[in-house]
A and B are shown apart, each in its own frame.
Chain A
Amino acid sequence: EVQLVQSGAELKKPGESLKISCKGSGFNFSNSWIVWVRQMPGKGLEWMGIIYPGDSDTRYNPSFRGQVTISADKSTSTAYLQWGRLKASDTAMYYCARGWYRSSSVRWFDPWGPGTLVTVSS
């Protein structure tokens, strides 16, 4: 069974750092794309970026470039999303998903992980 398991909820203070994870199983993680999507409280979905764990090729949504870092460890089939200095506005649910490739780009996301809730509050 294809599965993505995400790390647990986090409560952090502004200015702190954080790294959340997404572990894949049931598929060839190294040869797949992993995407990250943000959902702020009561809001819609925003694509943050994608990574190809096989060679760590990473693409960012310009809106998130410089704000977060996406990485992956193919040896443990795990992708990561990290922040250097959190802000209250980073409070959101963060989903990872497997990206499917067609004609030189990722074209759809399936399945999605359960999400990691990040709360940033003083």
Chain B
Amino acid sequence: DIVMTQSPLSLPVTPGEPASISCRSSQSLLHSHGFHCLNWYLQKPGQSPQLLIYLGSNRASGIPDRFSGSGSGTDFTLKISRVEAEDVGVYYCMQALRTPFTFGGGTKVEIK
């Protein structure tokens, strides 16, 4: 199975400041058709997960442009340009290159 490792585990943030989460996979997530099979989800407190970024860098519908995804191969990053209070929750990366699809352990973002 492809192992997904996120860091940090916990990320205290100040509203208005940038934030960054790292995700590393145990093997390259580059598909032969040229896209990366890496997604980012946010699970806000008491809610189901929601898609933020798909295929490495594509923002999902309705997601503010302060969220961006980047990376290649085995190293990926989710960046929030200016954190807002509503961005708190647990962020998960997920690989969809091959089954079984696997998630990172999560990064909990909270306001300082």
Contacts and interface: CB of A to CB of B under 8 A. Distances in A.
Interface of A: 37, 44-47, 59, 61-63, 95, 97, 100, 102-103, 105-115
B31 A103 contact: yes
A108 B92 contact: no
Contacts of A112: 48-51
Sorted nearest first, the 4 A-B pairs with minimum C-beta distance are A110-B51, A108-B54, A61-B100, A47-B101
Contacts, number: 70
Given A45-B94, A61-B99, A108 B48 contact: no
Contacts of A61: 99-101
Size bin of chain B's contact surface: 20 to 34
Interface of B: 31-33, 35, 37, 39, 41, 43, 48-51, 54-55, 60, 92, 94, 96, 98-106
